[in-house]
Amino acid sequence: MSTRRSHVPATRLCPHCGASQPIAAGERVWPVGWACANCGTSPPAAEGFPLFCPQLADTLTGCDPAGSAFLAKAEEHHFWFRARNRLLVGLLQRHFPDSRSLLEIGCGAGNVLVNMLRRGNWDRIAGAELHISGLRIARSRLPPEVELVQLDATSIPATNAFDVIGAFDVLEHIEQDEVALREMYRAVKPGGGVLIAVPQHPALWSVSDEVAYHQRRYRRGELERKVSAAGFRIVFSSSYIFFLLPMLVLNRLLGLGGGKEDPAAIAREFELAPSINSILGGITNAEVALTLAGMRWPIGGSRIVVARRK
């Protein structure tokens, strides 16, 4: 399905007065040093990143920014991230083959953006993250044309600016997830859409969710209802991690020990021998291939939803 080319002008929004300013072709959405023509406000910057929510940067909001370096390393090799990236890129190609602009909300250290870049044909690609610690690593991994910005997902200062907006295991960290979805609707172009992944099944809640500062695991149909309420039309929905769900359930039943104050709880989730990581990778890659071929899984550790702006 092609992405319809929108003739609605893309604009950036002033974080102070809300005034809009057109974004020219080839121009960054949020260039450093930009000043509002209406009120003169210029967002601050740090290390080359425009700051739209500096008061929350690198605080214990949404996640622990101290874990950015650890996750950046784990994402490169762990079977779960690698298979998920294949699924996300495949779904992008399937549902938005003509997309030329992408914003990833909660881009972290840039692992997904690295994979999205390999598709090519981008006029504009950007990553937004609350924590500068993540943006700093992302900058080291991404080419300079990738725009990186610090902002809160519940206040995206742009309108009609992107063909696709992605949020990959991000919404569960946000208390006001429905506000974030409405912001995504405003920031995406008519005919464009969103690609969203979240953990699901509250029964799977564990210490790992607590350590990761999750607000929720999504109930069946919950994400779809919230995405639809924001104005989107669902075009794809399926569980992910179906084949390995029994292993995940057993892991939760046995428990990881510790509590939210246990910093090693997340690390233990990624401590896999290379041979085990390879076997699990083969299983999840097979699931991804079947999903992209048309299979839909009723249950699984995660939920993937694709939706289009009406």
Q: Which pLDDT tens digit goes with each residue over 45-88?
A: 999 999 999 999 999 899 989 888 888 888 999 999 999 999 99
Q: What is the pLDDT of residue 258?
A: 45
Strand partners, 232: 309
Q: What is the pLDDT of residue 134?
A: 96
Confidence of residue 266 (pLDDT cuts 50, 70, 90): low
Q: What integer best gives the mean pLDDT of the chain?
A: 93
Residue with the larger pLDDT of the pair 289 and 63 = 289
| pLDDT score of 195 more than 90 | yes
Q: Which pLDDT tens digit goes with each residue over 6-53?
A: 578 999 999 999 999 999 988 999 999 999 999 999 999 999 999 999
Kindly report the backbone phi and psi dihedral angles of residue 242, in degrees, each rounded to the nearest multiple of 5, phi listed first: -85, -50
- Closest residue by Cα to residue 204 from 267, 164, 270, 256: 256
Q: Indicate the residue type of 71.
A: L
Q: Which pLDDT tens digit goes with each residue over 216-232?
A: 999 999 999 999 999 99
Taking the CA atoms of residue 213, residue 138, residue 42 and residue 100 in that order, the dihedral angle to the nearest 10 degrees is -100
Can you give the residue ranges of every domain in the chain? 46-309
Q: What is the pLDDT of residue 194?
A: 98
Confidence of residue 267 (pLDDT cuts 50, 70, 90): low
The strand pair at 49-50 and 101-105 is best described as unpaired
- Closest residue by Cα to residue 196 from 118, 267, 112, 82: 112
| pLDDT score of 255 more than 80 | no
Q: Is the dihedral of CA 90, 309, 213, 258 positive or negative?
A: negative
Could you please state the CATH topology (level 3) that the domain comprising 46-309 is classified under: Rossmann fold (3.40.50)
Q: Which pLDDT tens digit goes with each residue over 105-139?
A: 999 999 999 999 999 899 999 999 999 999 999 99
- Closest residue by Cα to residue 162 from 199, 129, 134, 188: 188
Per-residue b/e over 145-165, b at no fewer than 16 CB within 10 Å? ebbbbbbbbbebbbbbbbbbb
